[in-house]
Amino acid sequence: MLESRCVTVLGMMSGTSLDGVDGAVLHTDGERIAGFGPTSYRAYTPSERAVLRAALGRWPGEDGVEDAAELVETAHAELMARFDGVDLAGFHGQTLAHDPRGRGTHQAGSGAVLAMIAGYPVVWDFRSSDIQLGGQGAPLAPFYHFALARHIGATAPVAFLNLGGVGNVTWVDPSRARPEDDGALLAFDTGPANAPLDDLCLARRGLAHDESGALAASGQVDADVVRAFMEDNYFYRMPPKSLDRDFSGLLANVAHLSDADALATVSECAATAVAEAFAHFPGDPAQLLVCGGGRQNTDLMRRIALRLSCAMTPVESVGLDGDMLEAQAFAYLAVRVARGLPTSCPGTTGVGAAVGGGQISTP
């Protein structure tokens, strides 16, 4: 357990877009943010991404999982070697499967291995405890979003939208004393974001992504596909709720469309899902702050903005780093785990009560 003092902690995040590993240093006591440290990024090579893709949807012991875990550990160890003066690390691992009402959740990679290599404690396996206690195990960044809202001096409710492989949103009331307090947070996955767009680009054009959404912007939306997609039962469920990465049904439904039209239609689905999320908020936020790689997709951002009544802007507008916010979140959560503080609550994952997740491995 840590004392209630500020420490230097490294957070690492490898998201569902499978592009690489983000690393960010945060100075925090697990409650307030004292400052931000250096950041770094370790990209996955095309062959490494292929190994990870081959293991998607698989569980420990199944084919390809051991190779994926070894790859994840190697990439994270290389990233950790770039940072000095770290007291603690938060390691999310690479999500291969997420089935909170079934088999649970599976993040490849061992924090115990990384602690041995790095020589300092590593906090990992953040989601399992939440799921075991009836929660969705996701999203987990909302407690950090609460700290950020306080850090930027927000006085009215704000919302954070992360456009990663999957989209997720957090409604924050910064007037509450603690993130686990009733009414402080509401968080859930909105629907697909970058993952199906990147999958389309890779499958059809051999490209990692649609730069700035330029090709999608030139296409025509198939409204019938969008309507059918939004009829999925997921969008009728009350939050909190979470999704896995699999949007194969959506990709199958645009298989008959041209590249541009398929990308435009999937982008429209993602934007519509974000807009629908606002119906679940306790009230309209003063602003929507966007992080994740999707904020650089001009076409997707335009589609979302057209559907909202509140101001929408990248988190850089309030002095934050939209590329590293998720990595910072796991740095923040690592300190909370080490201090025995909650990392999720009913408003974020649907768990029965505020709980702390994660395990700590020492060298």
This prediction's pTM: 0.94
Q: How confident is the model at residue 1 (pLDDT cuts 50, 70, 90)?
A: low
pLDDT at 246: 64
Residue 240 reports pLDDT greater than 90: no
Q: How far apart are CA 150 and CA 2, in angstroms?
A: 23
Residues 6+ apart with CB under 8 A from 99: 105, 244
Percent of the chain with pLDDT over 90: 88
Residue 331 and residue 9 in contact, taking contact as beta carbons nearer than 8 Å: yes
From residue 105, give the alpha-carbon distance in Å to each of 37, 76, 132, 299.
Answer: 30, 20, 10, 32
Q: Does 126 score more than 80 pLDDT?
A: yes
At residue 323, what are phi and psi to the nearest 5 degrees?
A: -80, -30
* Band (93; pLDDT cuts 50, 70, 90): very high
> What six digits make up the tokens of 297?
């997709």
What is the pLDDT averaged over residues 272-299? 95
Structure tokens at 146: 């609460």
Q: Which pLDDT score is estimated for 244?
A: 67
Least confident of 39-43, 98-102, 127-131, 173-177: 98-102
Give residue-wise pLDDT tens across range 248-274. Answer: 689 999 999 999 999 999 999 999 999
DSSP for 7-69, written as a single string: EEEEEEEE-TT-SEEEEEEEEE-SSSEEEEEEEEEEEPPHHHHHHHHHHTT--TTSTTHHHHH
Which residue type sits at 29?
Answer: D
Tokens of 68: 């994926």
Residues across the chain: 363
So what's the pLDDT on residue 76?
Answer: 98
Amino acid at position 83, single letter: F
> CA-to-CA distance for 282 and 234, rounded, in angstroms?
19
Q: Are 351 and 135 in contact (CB under 8 A)?
A: yes
Q: Which domains does the chain have, with CATH numbers?
A: 7-138+322-361 (3.30.420.40), 153-318 (3.30.420.40)
